[in-house]
Amino acid sequence: KAYIRQPLSYEIYDMAGSPGSECFLMRVDQNSQFFSVAAYTEQVDKRLLRRESRLDDDGALYKMFNAGTSGTSGVEKKNRRFESNTDLSTFVSGMNSSGAELENFIFDNVDLPRQLNYLAATVLTQNNDNMSKNYYLYRDSEGSGEWTQLPWDTDLTWGSHYMTNDNISHDGIWATADYVLGGRNANSPISPSHPFVGIRELQGNRSWNRLIDKLLENERVKNMFRRRLQTLVDDLLMSKVVDDRLDAMELMLESDAVRDRAKWGQFGRSQSLTQAIAVLEDDYLMPRRTHLSVTHLATNSASYPTPQTSSALLPGPAGDETSVSFGVIEGNPSSLKQEEEYIEIINTANEAIDLSGWNVTGGVEFEFLPGTILESNGRVYLSPDVSTFRSRAASPTGGEGLNVEGDYSGQVSARGEIIKLINSEGGVVDQRLTPSEESDTQKYLRITEIHFAPLEGKRFEFIELINIGPDPLDLTGVRFTNGVEAELTGSLAPGELGLVVSTPSYFPGLKILGIFSGALNNGGEQLTLRDVAGENILSFDYEGEWFTAVRNSGYSLDLRDEIADWSTWEDRLSWATSSEVGGSPGVLNPFPYSNDYDSWIHSFFTVGELEDPLVSGPMADANGDGYSNLMHYALGVDPEVVLSGSFAEIVIENDIISLQFDRLMKTPDLNLTVQISTDLLDWSSLATLTDSEAQENGLETVTYKSPIPLSSRSQQFFRIWVTQNP
């Protein structure tokens, strides 16, 4: 009657941080005539998983038709059908344990943030039809290995319930029923409105769910759930989010709801759309708000009104965040496996903290998932690879009941850096300067040249390295891990250059430090060079579009300054187009480098002007002198300087007329021609470059000779034509 229960429920799950289907109401016409109002619900499949940015669409996915009691019966496998249901059976078995074994299993195998979000959204919407069916189980099979429930079939929500006379066609609304005898014979105790609905003692539709029961059997998980539910009660249920969505949906439906009712009728009492939504607001939403924000507060437990059950002891408003800080930051694991590093975050207060929307920034980057709870007097471990963390040989590791979240990007650097813990409001809660313990290769080994698009093909690709230090560098254990993969060997003397290549035979007489597998990406990619301990020596992204001549014309990327700070390798302005096609493998990069328009303009325009193509673009005329910026670049003249006719000179010798002018040297991204016309209409004749003399200022004086003798055409016109190479 209200139509909105399904789409609104999915929206609440989504806002809570529990991945779910897109669902929306739609008008269906048949043969250009109104047919019905229907709810479109997206299938839970690989496409849904792919849409969720931090879920792997190759993870296992099961549609469940049991209460979490079997991995083979009452299940429908959706993904990874090339393998058996062993993973699900193992999970079901593990969740059937108890005590410390259960606790360790939960913390190693359940995606706690998303699972807590699922449970909390289930309570907000009072979705009780998901105990023994109507949910999915998803596992991050190739990542953390963790499981979570996903919602499905959310029509019996927002107070609507199946338990009135075992009939879905009724008008009963339940919002505060923590204990009631329901069903046809009124002899089956159920607890549809209790926050812990789904455990064995507090059943929903005369059924319970073993996964929910076992999760809330563990006191640590139950306390985490209390905090997450309280957050969502405060942020969603008590806000105007639901009211605003109800108003918007009612406005959208209006006349179509009238047509649908006239065509198909209704069950139970006759209600207009406005009346049905008013029932949802008055009979469910308002009492539900009181039930969860007042009745079940721990501070009101003495006055809890239902003797057959007990208060959920919700904690109330969030506590002081000053109790949260960094603990141990392990940047150099004794195993020399950098993936085993971790960051510990501790809470010294007696109440849990919801870390939803918090971030860690600095050398590592991580955004906490909604639903991440830092327990009272507890800790959360952050890892670049959660699965690897749980395989550590030494504590902290798996099997210890640890709350581990990840995967963060970057690494805790031995170079020393500030790592910050940022709350959801953007405030710095804590920061830590990590110690500087650089290895010699981190200090002195640098990449100086990258040839990723040689004209002759992959076999001529190379990466050039140099030792900028005062002593020989042992390269044992140094390796490329991103972009290409290669193990380096040997050593480099001070100032010595060496190459990492695809095909050594194409670099005779040059020092080869390693052979890489794969190929350098012409479009750009991240290159990561690590030392023997797995610490980053350099990790940066180069872009194929930085320099067109490098991508398309066989030039290489040359580093401008090998003794610059290591953090500048990712900056486009740290690189240049090589002086010659093919680069300069194994020798110092020749100077001057080739020019390119995008680098050239950085010397003349402000940051704001560089962002405005009408000012700094190649076809813009920055100073209004009638010449484009590209022409200024071709001639090597500041775009703010007015060009006049005096920049070129006419030379007549032996019946031949020539044009002589200065132009910028080494501009492989530019095509410059001198065109000839005798009538200012036909410019098809081209002058020939007959002389070029380099100057010390990076310019060259060039002479272009007309192919037409002056005696045959006494009137000749020259024009300089410049275009950018693609």
- Per-domain boundaries in the chain: 5-303, 321-433, 440-593, 614-724
- CA nearest to 318, candidates 257, 374, 394, 248: 374
DSSP state of 408: P
pLDDT of residue 184: 55
Residue with tokens 């669409």: 57
List, in order, residues 6 or more apart from 341 with CB less than 8 Å away.
330, 331, 332, 333, 383, 384, 411, 412
Structure tokens at 694: 């380099």
pLDDT, tens digit (0-9, with 9 covering 90-100), for 395-448: 999 999 999 999 999 889 888 889 999 999 999 999 999 988 899 999 999 999
Question: How many Å separate Cα 242 from the centre of its chain?
Answer: 29
> Domain 440-593 is classified in which CATH homologous superfamily?
Lamin Tail domain (2.60.40.1260)
DSSP state of 228: H
Phi, psi of 130 (to 5 degrees): -120, 25
DSSP state of 642: P
User: Can you tell me the distance from the alpha carbon of 474 to that of 498, in angstroms, rounded to the nearest whole number?
Assistant: 13
pLDDT of residue 166: 52
User: Can you tell me the distance from the alpha carbon of 309 to that of 532, in angstroms, rounded to the nearest whole number?
Assistant: 60
List, in order, residues 6 or more apart from 404 with CB less than 8 Å away.
107, 380, 381, 382, 383, 386, 389, 390
User: Can you tell me the distance from the alpha carbon of 396 to that of 333, in angstroms, rounded to the nearest whole number?
Assistant: 11
pLDDT of residue 346: 98
CATH of domain 321-433: 2.60.40.1260
User: Can you tell me the distance from the alpha carbon of 673 to that of 363, in angstroms, rounded to the nearest whole number?
Assistant: 49
Structure tokens at 493: 């003397």
Structure tokens at 711: 């005696």
pLDDT of residue 513: 97
Structure tokens at 65: 């038709």
Q: Could you tell me whether strands 379-383 and 404-406 are parallel, antiparallel, or unpaired per DSSP bridges?
A: parallel
The answer to whether the beta carbons of residues 274 and 280 sit under 8 Å apart is no
Bridge partners, 314 (sequence order)? 297
Architecture of domain 614-724: Sandwich (2.60)
pLDDT of residue 183: 55
The answer to whether the beta carbons of residues 521 and 544 sit under 8 Å apart is yes
pLDDT of residue 414: 86
Residue with tokens 């999970």: 91
The answer to whether the beta carbons of residues 543 and 527 sit under 8 Å apart is no
pLDDT of residue 167: 57
pLDDT, tens digit (0-9, with 9 covering 90-100), for 569-623: 999 999 999 999 999 999 998 888 898 998 899 889 999 999 999 999 999 999 9
Strand ranges (DSSP E) for 423-476? Answer: 428-433, 445-451, 462-467, 473-474
Structure tokens at 647: 């920049």
Residue with tokens 């006379």: 165
- CA nearest to 62, candidates 41, 42, 84, 40: 84
pLDDT of residue 341: 95
615 burial (CB, 10 Å; 0-12 / 13-18 / 19+) is middle
Residue with tokens 């390798």: 569
- CA nearest to 285, candidates 245, 226, 229: 245
DSSP 37-67: EEEEE--SSHHHHHHSTTS-TTSEEEEE-SS
100 burial (CB, 10 Å; 0-12 / 13-18 / 19+) is exposed
The answer to whether the beta carbons of residues 27 and 37 sit under 8 Å apart is yes
The answer to whether the beta carbons of residues 559 and 463 sit under 8 Å apart is no
Q: Decide if 321-433 and 440-593 have a common fold.
A: yes
Of all helices (H) and strands (E), which one includes residue 482?
strand 479-482
Ranges of residues in the chain with a pLDDT under 70 are: 163-170, 182-187
- Residues 25-33: contacts with CB within 8 Å, 24+ apart? 25/249, 25/252, 25/253, 27/256
Structure tokens at 633: 């670049």
pLDDT, tens digit (0-9, with 9 covering 90-100), for 121-145: 999 999 999 999 999 999 999 999 9
User: Can you tell me the distance from the alpha carbon of 317 to that of 464, in angstroms, rounded to the nearest whole number?
Assistant: 58
pLDDT of residue 721: 95
pLDDT of residue 719: 94
List, in order, residues 6 or more apart from 493 with CB less than 8 Å away.
467, 472
Phi, psi of 329 (to 5 degrees): -115, 105
